[in-house]
């Protein structure tokens, strides 16, 4: 969830579960070679582009109260994300023609756990869109301070959500144009902060606001910071999801997943750490635009305004991408028989309007229910809630590797078993760090999906029941 949604269109290709595809087998004869437009570099760009988005722009404000614990939170998160990236890489290598996480979990555990994973991922999309929209409005408040008020920020975020929903309902091309404009802009604030921090260090002007003291480091603080930092790393699974559009997926998807995850983690570490350690904690924690604050403090207020504008545009581009995806995912799952058939209807332009509108409506309800929070508090809560929902997917896939090895569906490997075990521990540890409020809300949102699953199974069983023979 951390970056733009550039992989929505390939999700239209559903994996036919009843077509027995053995692990490691060749593609079925019906595979479409002309659809495999993504080589390694485009696949890598997809992974990096989906990582780099709004996730990083407000995190320094949330991490500042944790002091140097935030640095350790990043280190643990990057290590955990690399374990999960390796899990997805090996699953993609074993099942290169399956459409990603849902298929992996179904192969290992059956239809109900697979539905829970698909449902939780969809929940993480429309919940995460609230956090992304909040980040965009937060940086725009640099130019219009009135937007910083709780009620005004919620209203502006809702307006932005529905504007981009309308754009994507009218035309996929229009949504793609918005994405193309923002793809380069999103890198500018990150590059500026990295270069400015490097220059400060070279001149010997990089003085920490607080000294590093071992007694200030605690496991609970690292755990809480780690739950926040994972928000920026959501998207590990995106290359696996589009594997059917990748040339030589058994080779290119694992490489792109591992390299993209490592690159994004390094960039985040190099941008967030200077902001949280080289500025007074109170200033960063109370800032609606911490990247702009850093540039203003160490360089120029006018340049800082440009950084704020670029960050806002980047977040809007990220929101546009995931708005597109929040409609495409239910469409693909409905066509595959996993989601209700109601989601399978599209407009004359082949746009999943129903999924788009319902997802944005749920985002709006959730946002309205929490409108009294400050922008910083709203962002933190929604980011943790989206992370909690996504962690269900990550935990299930790590367990799927262990299960598939146990049953012999995947070749047994001690390194893979150890890394999948570490990924499982990391996912559970991060769920604990998210706190009772986010995990409680996340549990409720997941439980809502169970009646949907039961109703869908009953409907499908009636539709599949043969008609009685006429007497």
Given a cut of 80, is residue 52 above it in pLDDT?
Answer: no
Helix (H) or strand (E) holding 307: helix 301-335
Q: Is 302 exposed, middle or buried (0-12, 13-18, 19+ CB in 10 A)?
A: exposed
> How many other C-beta atoms lie within 10 A of the C-beta of residue 217?
15
pTM of the model: 0.81
Average confidence score pLDDT of the chain: 82
Of the ranges 114-118, 195-199, 319-323, 333-337, the best mean pLDDT one: 195-199
Q: List the chain domain ranges.
A: 36-457
**Residues pairing with 246 in the sheet:** 38
pLDDT on residue 13: 32
Q: What is the DSSP string of 25-89?
A: PPPPTT--GGG--B-HHHHHHHHHHHHSSSTTTSHHHHHGGGTTHHHHHHHHHHHHHHHHHHHHH
How confident is the model over 145-184, as pLDDT tens digits? 888 888 888 999 999 999 989 988 886 555 455 555 555 6
> Band of the pLDDT at 27, cuts 50, 70, 90?
very low
Q: Domain 36-457: state its class.
A: mainly alpha
Q: Would you give the DSSP letter of residue 213?
A: -
């Amino acid at each position: 969830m951390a970056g733009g949604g550039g992989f929505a269109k390939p999700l239209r290709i559903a994996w036919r579960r009843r077509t027995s595809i053995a692990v490691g087998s060749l593609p079925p004869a019906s595979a479409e070679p002309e659809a495999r437009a993504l080589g390694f570099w485009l696949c890598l760009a997809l992974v990096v582009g989906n990582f780099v988005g709004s996730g990083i722009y407000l995190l320094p404000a949330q991490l500042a109260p944790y002091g140097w614990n935030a640095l350790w939170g990043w280190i643990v998160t990057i290590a955990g994300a690399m374990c999960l990236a390796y899990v997805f890489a090996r699953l993609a290598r074993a099942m290169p023609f399956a459409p990603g996480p849902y298929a992996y979990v179904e192969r290992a555990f059956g239809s109900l756990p697979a539905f829970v994973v698909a449902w939780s991922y969809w929940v993480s999309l429309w919940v995460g869109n609230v956090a992304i929209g909040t980040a965009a409005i937060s940086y725009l408040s640099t130019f219009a301070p009135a937007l910083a008020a709780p009620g005004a920020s919620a209203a502006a975020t809702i307006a932005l959500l529905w504007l981009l929903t309308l754009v994507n309902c009218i035309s996929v091309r229009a949504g793609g144009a918005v994405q193309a404009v923002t793809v380069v802009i999103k890198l500018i604030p990150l590059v500026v902060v990295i270069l400015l921090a490097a220059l400060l260090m070279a001149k010997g002007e990089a003085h920490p606001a607080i000294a590093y003291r071992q007694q200030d480091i605690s496991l609970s603080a690292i755990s809480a910071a780690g739950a926040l930092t994972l928000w920026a790393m959501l998207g590990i699974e995106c290359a696996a999801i589009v594997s059917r559009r990748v040339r030589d997926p058994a080779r290119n998807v694992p490489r792109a997943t591992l390299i993209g995850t490592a690159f994004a983690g390094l960039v985040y570490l190099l941008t967030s750490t200077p902001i949280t350690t080289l500025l007074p904690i109170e200033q960063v924690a109370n800032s609606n635009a911490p990247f702009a604050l850093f540039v203003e403090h160490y360089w120029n207020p006018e340049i800082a305004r440009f950084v704020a504008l670029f960050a806002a545009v980047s977040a809007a581009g990220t929101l546009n991408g995931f708005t597109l995806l929040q409609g495409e995912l239910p469409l693909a799952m409905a066509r595959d028989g996993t989601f209700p058939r109601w989601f399978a209807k599209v407009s004359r332009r082949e746009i999943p309007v129903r999924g788009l509108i319902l997802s944005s409506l749920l985002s709006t309800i959730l946002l309205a229910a929490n409108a009294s929070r400050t922008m910083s508090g709203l962002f933190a809560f929604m980011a943790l809630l989206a992370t909690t929902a996504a962690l269900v997917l990550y935990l299930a896939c790590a367990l799927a590797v262990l299960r598939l090895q146990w049953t012999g569906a995947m070749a047994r490997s001690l390194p893979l078993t150890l890394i999948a075990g570490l990924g499982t521990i990391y996912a559970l540890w991060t769920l604990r760090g998210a706190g009772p409020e986010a995990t409680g809300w996340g549990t409720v949102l997941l439980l809502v999906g169970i009646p949907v699953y039961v109703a869908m199974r009953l409907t499908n069983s009636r539709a599949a029941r043969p008609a009685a023979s006429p007497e």
